Amino acid sequence: MQGKGERKIVSSKDVARLAGCSQSTVSRVLNRPESVHPDKRERVLQAIEALQYKPNMAARSLVAKQTYTIALISGTLRNDFFAESTDRIVEYARKQGYRTIVYFESEGSLGDILAQVRSYKVDGILISCMKLEDPHYEAFATCGIPCIWFNRRHKRGGNYISMDNITAASMLTRHLLDLGHRSIAYLSGHRDISTLDERWTGFEAAMQDAGVPIAEDQVHFLDPEDSAIQKLTWKLMQRLTPPTALVCGHDELAIVCMDALLSMGLRIPEDVSVAGFDDIRMSGHQAIQLTSVGQHRFDMGEVAAEQLIALMHAEAGKEQSVIQFRCKPELFVRKSTGPVRTEQEKARNGRI
Amino acid sequence: MQGKGERKIVSSKDVARLAGCSQSTVSRVLNRPESVHPDKRERVLQAIEALQYKPNMAARSLVAKQTYTIALISGTLRNDFFAESTDRIVEYARKQGYRTIVYFESEGSLGDILAQVRSYKVDGILISCMKLEDPHYEAFATCGIPCIWFNRRHKRGGNYISMDNITAASMLTRHLLDLGHRSIAYLSGHRDISTLDERWTGFEAAMQDAGVPIAEDQVHFLDPEDSAIQKLTWKLMQRLTPPTALVCGHDELAIVCMDALLSMGLRIPEDVSVAGFDDIRMSGHQAIQLTSVGQHRFDMGEVAAEQLIALMHAEAGKEQSVIQFRCKPELFVRKSTGPVRTEQEKARNGRI
DNA sequence: CTGAAAGCGCTTACAG
DNA sequence: CTGAAAGCGCTTACAG
C-alpha cells in the first residue's frame, strides 16, 4: 500500500551488477577514481547515474576514515552571534565539500554530544560554547578527532580562535571614560565563560588605569534571561543615583537592556549610554545603533572552519602545531553612547 | 604518540564479554529491556556503566528501524523566524528523547538533502522551506519516512502546518485601511513560496474589498537581500508621491526596510507606516515596535514537531490521516503604524 | 528468556 | 587494475 515508499534502496552491489564489475571497484571509483581503469570507471559512473545511486553514509562511516562531515557544537540560537556564525560555518564548509552537523549546547551535556559525534565519526569538531573550566575538555582534546574551539576558550588552551576580549573591553571602557562617564554599571552573564571573564577583566583594568572606582552594586553577573535582565535594568535605573552608562557583556544582552530602558521612558544616550560586545547584525540597525566592539570582516566562525579543515588535512601528515588565534577587536561607535549630560553630572554632583 | 586518542571504541561485544552474556542480550537490554531477565539486565547495565559504553549510532542506523533522530530542513538563519523555530524544535525534540539533525536549505538542493537523510535513516522529517512547486515534493512524500511541512506549504498539500496567511494579510491590510491609508506599497520576496503567495493574495483581496486600487508600481517582489531591499525602499520613498504605508512580506524584510527609512531621515509612523508578518522577537522591541501579524503563543515549529512525533508512532499502526493545520493569525498593533497625517493627505490631494 | 548466525552497505587489505 | 573475503558495530528473526 505504501507504493514507492517501499522501494529498496539502491546499493553499490546494484551498481556493480549493472556495470558488470565488483563492489570493490564501485567503491574505488567513489574514493580513488584514478586507481580504476578509465573505461571501467566510465561504466561505473554511468551505472551510478542510471540508478541514481547515493552511497549510504551510515555504512560508510562505519568503516571509512573520512566522512566529509564536521560537527559544530554551537551556543543557543537565541543569541544572534551564534545564529550568524552557524550560518557562515555551514555555508563555508559546504563550499569546501563538507557537510556540517549542528549540535546545540542545550541538547544535553557536552559528554553526550561527544559520544554522538564519535559514533558518527565526523572528521572534525568546532566548538563555540565550552565553559572555561568544562570537565569535558580533556575528552574532546584526546578523542583523536581534530577539534577547534572558537569564540570561547577553555582554560587549558588547545586550538582556539577567539577575540582579544581584554583589549576589546578596554577599548569600550576607554570610549565611555573619554565621554566623561564615571558611574558605569556592568551587566553580564556569568564569568564561567572565557569571553565574559576576559571582558570583565578588561573593564576592570581600564577603570583602574583611569583611577575610577567601581562601585560593587554597579556590577552584576546574572543568568542572561530576558526577564532577569529587564528587572535588573529597572532596579539599577530607579536608584537615586543611577549609572550614566551601561556596559553589557554581549550585544544580545545589551539589546534586551535597551528594551527595558526605553520602556522606562529613558532616552539613549541622553539619559544613559549603552555599549556591548560582538557587533551582531542588529547592532548596526538605525533604530538600535548600539556601540559595540567586535571583529568585523573577520568572521571568527569562518576562520575557525578554515583552520579546522586545514588541520584535518594536516592530521594525515606530520606533527601538529597548536592553532591559537586572537582576533583584533574593532570599536564601532554608534549613537547609543554619548557624553555625560550636564544634568546628569549636576544631579550627581549635587548629591555627592 | 596520540595517547588516549587511539583507544579502541567500546563495542557491545565488550559489554557482553564483561557481563557474561551474548551481544544479542546487550542489544535487547538497550532496545526492549523488559524482554530480558531482571538479573541479567542488571549485570548488563552495570557493564555498560563500567565501560562507559555508548552504542554506535552509525551501525545502529544501518540496521535498525528506529534511530530516534529527526531531520529538520530549515530556511536560512538569517531570517530570525527560522532561528526561533529551529531553537524551539531542537529543544522540544530533545525533551521527547529525539535528537535533531538540522539541514539548511543553502546546503544544496533538497534532493541531495533527502539522499543524506535517507542514508542516515531518520525517523521523521520536518521541512520549513519548500517552495510551492518544488519538484522534490514527491520524493519526500513517497520516501517512506513520515514528513511534515511547516510554515511553507507545497501546492500538492500533504501534511502541513502553516499560518492562515490569507486571513493574516487581510487583517493587516484592513488595519492600515482603517488608519486611512490609501497609498500602500507592497514589498515581498518572490511568490514561489506559499506564505508569500498567500499574503499577497490576502492583501489584494482586502484592497479590492475596500475598493482601493493597487498601483502597479507600488508592488515589488524581489530577492530578499539587504541591499536590494534598501535600494527599493529609497526608490519608493523618493517619488513625488511616496506611499503612506509599506506592507512587507515578512518581518525580517520589514526590519531592513525600516533601517533604510530611518537612514533617509524619515520618521515611522509619522512619515510612513510599516507592517510585517511573523511577529519575530525583534518586532516587539521598544526600538522597533513593528506592527505584525503572527501566531503568538502557538509556535508552529513546536506544533509541527509534536505532530511529527505522533505521526511516527502512529506509522506503526493503522492507516494515516492527513495532518493539516492552519494556525489562526493574531494582529499585534505596535507603533510602526499610525494614521495618515494631514500633511501626507494634503500633499497627495493637492497633486491629484 | 537467551544465543548463534546472518546481514545492513560499505571499505580495505590481500592476492592476483 | 581488479575481485573475493573479511569486517566495521549493531539488530533481528530463528531456534531453542
Does pLDDT of B249 surpass 80? yes
DSSP type of residue B341: P
Asked if A263's CB is within 8 angstroms of B119's CB, the reply is: no
Paired strand residues for B162: B326
CB B263 within 8 A of CB B234: no
Dihedral sign for Cα atoms in the order B202, B205, B207, B210:
negative
Quick: pLDDT tens for B12-44. 999 999 999 999 999 999 989 999 999 999 999
Q: How far is B67 from chain A (nearest CA, A)?
A: 11
Q: Which nucleotides of C are covered by protein (CB under 7 A)?
A: 1-5, 7-13
Q: Which domains does chain B have, with CATH numbers?
A: 69-162+297-328 (3.40.50.2300), 165-296+332-351 (3.40.50.2300)
pLDDT at position A196, please? 98
B5: nearest CB among A94, A102, A144: A144
Pairing of strands A99-104, A184-188: unpaired
Give A288-342 as a DSSP string: T--EEEE-TTS-HHHHHHHHHHHHHHHHHSS-----EEEEPPEEE--TT--PPPH
Higher-confidence position of B32 and B203: B203
Does pLDDT of B242 surpass 90? yes
Q: Largest Cα–Cα distance in chain A?
A: 94
Q: What angle do CA B300, B280, A245 make, to 5 degrees?
A: 145
**pLDDT band per the 50, 70, 90 thresholds, residue B178:** very high
* Distance, C-alpha B13 to centroid of its chain: 42
pLDDT at position B79, please? 93
- Average the pLDDT over each of A47-61, A270-284, B246-260, B324-338 and give the range with the smallest value: A47-61
Pairing of strands A291-294, A330-332: antiparallel
pLDDT at position B349, please? 57
Quick: pLDDT tens for A254-302. 999 999 999 999 999 999 999 999 999 999 999 999 999 998 766 899 9
Does pLDDT of B5 surpass 60? no
Give B281-332 as a DSSP string: GGGGSTTT--EEEE-TT--HHHHHHHHHHHHHHHHHSS-----EEEEPPEEE
Q: Which whole number is the average pLDDT over A62-84?
A: 89
pLDDT at position B105, please? 86
CB B283 within 8 A of CB B332: yes
- B291 contact partners, CB below 8 Å, separation of at least 6: B172, B175, B273, B274, B275, B276, B331, B332, B333, B334, B335, B336, B337
pLDDT at position A43, please? 93
Give A125 CA → D9 C1' in Å.
23
Give A89 CA → D12 C1' in Å.
40
pLDDT, averaged across chain A: 90
- A120 contact partners, CB below 8 Å, separation of at least 6: A61, A67, A69, A71, A101, B57, B58
CB B333 within 8 A of CB B175: yes
**pLDDT band per the 50, 70, 90 thresholds, residue A348:** low
pLDDT at position A3, please? 36
pLDDT, averaged across chain B: 90
Going edge to edge, which strands form the sheet with B69-74? B99-104, B69-74, B124-127, B147-150, B160-163, B324-327
Residue B150: φ, ψ to 5°:
-135, 160
Highest mean predicted confidence (pLDDT) among A13-17, A248-252, B33-37, B90-94: A248-252
